[in-house]
């Protein structure tokens, strides 16, 4: 198995920040530092960094760039570097305890990022997601949807607490439904005690905010549906249990062909790979609490839908229940199967979309 130090002539470690990125170039074979320098995060600064590194690496196209925060502060840099034909990887996870007492600076961090990649097998490098085209648009919409959904939940909870703790004339013993929220949004000011008047005005504001968010969420779902239908995830919409939102989350996590090598890696990314939890005569596996929780959530919703509405899946559930499996264990098995199915569909669709 080839490692980075044997495969690439140079490794560039990048410690990313809002104003400046710090670059350290290492000779891969020896780990020796070639040079270190910082450049602004502007387009001009990134171009200067590319030219500077090209001069010091003899413009070797096999120079590996290891970028910290390739999905956040380093996203633009990662996209630009990839567009220039360089291989790009996300910075590996590092144990801070190993560097205790050594000190910290941006230059040291850039050096550590590059050095940490040297002993890694090339198959274990974490490839960043693509940040252009339909996939990036879907990722933006998925991120926005998550934020709006959380905001909607917070607003409904705040509205519920408000009407339960103040005598506003609304039956809030149960969770507020859309009809009640719509009713609250139409309330008008009344002549009443000051605290009640303020509470009523705040309730109206929260109700209107919830309704506005629901409109935005509906528009968001429509946009996701349109984008998913022109992406590699389009066949997922034909699978039972999948909707535009779940398909979009799967595509956003998968990103592009080659980023994830095997279906086992995809299952691990989704947090649905089996974790041994056996003891004595009991042999069992438990749910994985790690991985991409958005992807895991999408697979969970698909699983619940299939367990409820798909006759074949219900038959499988009954069979596993007869084997004394718990519902959690059954869901884990189903999520692992669905993850395998998703991975194969996305990779197969990539081959179909490739030009002849």
> What are the structure tokens assigned to 74, written together?
């380093």
Q: What is residue 288's predicted lDDT score, i.e. its pLDDT? A: 77
Query: Between vectors from CA 296 to CA 88 and to CA 220, what angle results, nearest 5°?
Result: 85
Residue 12: beta bridge partners? Answer: 25, 65
For the chain, what is the mean pLDDT?
90
Q: What is residue 353's predicted lDDT score, i.e. its pLDDT? A: 52
Q: What is residue 136's predicted lDDT score, i.e. its pLDDT? A: 87
Least confident segment among 100-109, 232-241, 263-272? 100-109
The whole-model pTM stands at 0.78
Please write the tens of the pLDDT for every residue from 51-94: 999 999 998 999 999 999 888 899 999 999 999 999 999 998 87
Q: What is residue 350's predicted lDDT score, i.e. its pLDDT? A: 63
Q: What is residue 356's predicted lDDT score, i.e. its pLDDT? A: 41
Contact 232, 349 (CB under 8 A): yes
Quickly count: other Cβ atoms within 10 Å of residue 237's Cβ: 14
Give yes or no for residue 202 having a pLDDT over 50. yes
Q: What is residue 135's predicted lDDT score, i.e. its pLDDT? A: 87
Q: What is residue 338's predicted lDDT score, i.e. its pLDDT? A: 95
Please write the tens of the pLDDT for every residue from 126-184: 888 766 678 889 999 999 999 999 999 999 999 999 999 998 989 888 999 999 999 99
Q: What is residue 351's predicted lDDT score, i.e. its pLDDT? A: 61
DSSP track, 125-182: -BPPPP-SHHHHHHHHHHHHHHHHHHHHHHHHHHHHHHHHHS--S---SS---HHHHH
Least confident segment among 4-8, 99-103, 109-113, 251-255? 99-103
Using pLDDT thresholds of 50, 70 and 90, give the confidence band for residue 191: confident
Give yes or no for residue 354 having a pLDDT over 60. no
Q: What is residue 101's predicted lDDT score, i.e. its pLDDT? A: 63
Q: What is residue 99's predicted lDDT score, i.e. its pLDDT? A: 63
Q: What is residue 282's predicted lDDT score, i.e. its pLDDT? A: 77
Q: What is residue 128's predicted lDDT score, i.e. its pLDDT? A: 85
Q: What is residue 98's predicted lDDT score, i.e. its pLDDT? A: 66
Give yes or no for residue 284 having a pLDDT over 80. no
Mean pLDDT throughout 100-114? 85
Q: What is residue 97's predicted lDDT score, i.e. its pLDDT? A: 65
Decide if domain 4-124 falls under CATH 3.40.50.300. Answer: no
Contact 143, 215 (CB under 8 A): no
* Neighbouring residues of 312: CB distance < 8 A, sequence distance ≥ 6: none
Nearest Cα to Cα of residue 21 among 107, 97, 104, 82: 107
% of the chain residues with pLDDT over 70:
94
Look-up: residue for tokens 């040079």?
35
Mean pLDDT throughout 293-301? 94
Q: What is residue 283's predicted lDDT score, i.e. its pLDDT? A: 75
Nearest Cα to Cα of residue 270 among 335, 326, 350: 335
Q: How far is CA 50 from CA 41, 53, 86, 295, 307, in A?
A: 12, 5, 10, 34, 52
Q: What is residue 352's predicted lDDT score, i.e. its pLDDT? A: 54
Continuous segment of H or E residues that includes residue 212: helix 194-228
């Amino acid at each position: 198995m080839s490692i980075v130090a044997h495969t690439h002539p140079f490794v560039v470690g990048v410690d990313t920040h809002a104003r400046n990125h710090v670059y350290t170039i290492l000779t891969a074979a020896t780990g020796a530092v070639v040079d270190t320098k910082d450049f602004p995060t502007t387009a001009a600064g990134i171009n200067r960094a590319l030219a500077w590194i090209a001069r010091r690496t003899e413009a070797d196209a096999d120079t590996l760039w290891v970028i910290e925060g390739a999905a956040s502060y380093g996203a633009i840099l990662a996209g630009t570097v990839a567009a220039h034909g360089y291989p790009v990887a996300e910075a590996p996870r590092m144990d801070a305890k190993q560097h205790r007492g050594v000190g910290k600076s941006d230059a040291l961090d850039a050096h550590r990022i590059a050095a940490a990649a040297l002993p890694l097998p090339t198959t274990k490098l974490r490839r960043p997601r693509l940040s252009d085209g339909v996939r990036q648009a879907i990722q933006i919409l998925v991120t926005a949807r998550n934020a709006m959904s959380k905001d909607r939940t917070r607003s409904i909870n705040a509205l519920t607490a408000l009407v339960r703790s103040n005598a506003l004339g609304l039956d809030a013993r149960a969770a507020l439904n859309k009809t009640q929220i719509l009713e609250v949004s139409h309330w008008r000011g009344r002549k009443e005690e000051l605290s009640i008047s303020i509470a009523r005005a705040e309730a109206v504001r929260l109700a209107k905010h919830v309704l506005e968010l629901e409109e935005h969420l509906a528009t968001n779902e429509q946009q996701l549906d349109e984008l998913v239908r022109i992406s590699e995830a389009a066949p997922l919409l034909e699978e039972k249990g999948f909707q535009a939102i779940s398909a979009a989350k799967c595509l956003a996590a998968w990103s592009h062909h080659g980023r994830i090598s095997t279906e086992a890696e995809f299952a691990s990314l989704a947090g649905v790979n089996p974790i041994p939890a056996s003891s004595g005569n009991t042999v069992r596996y438990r749910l994985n609490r790690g991985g991409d929780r958005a992807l895991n959530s999408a697979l969970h919703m698909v699983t619940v839908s299939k367990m409820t509405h798909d006759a074949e899946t219900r038959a499988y559930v009954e069979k596993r229940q007869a084997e004394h499996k718990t519902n959690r264990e059954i869901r884990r098995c189903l999520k692992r199967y669905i993850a395998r199915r998703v991975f194969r569909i996305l990779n197969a669709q990539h081959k179909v979309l490739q030009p002849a």
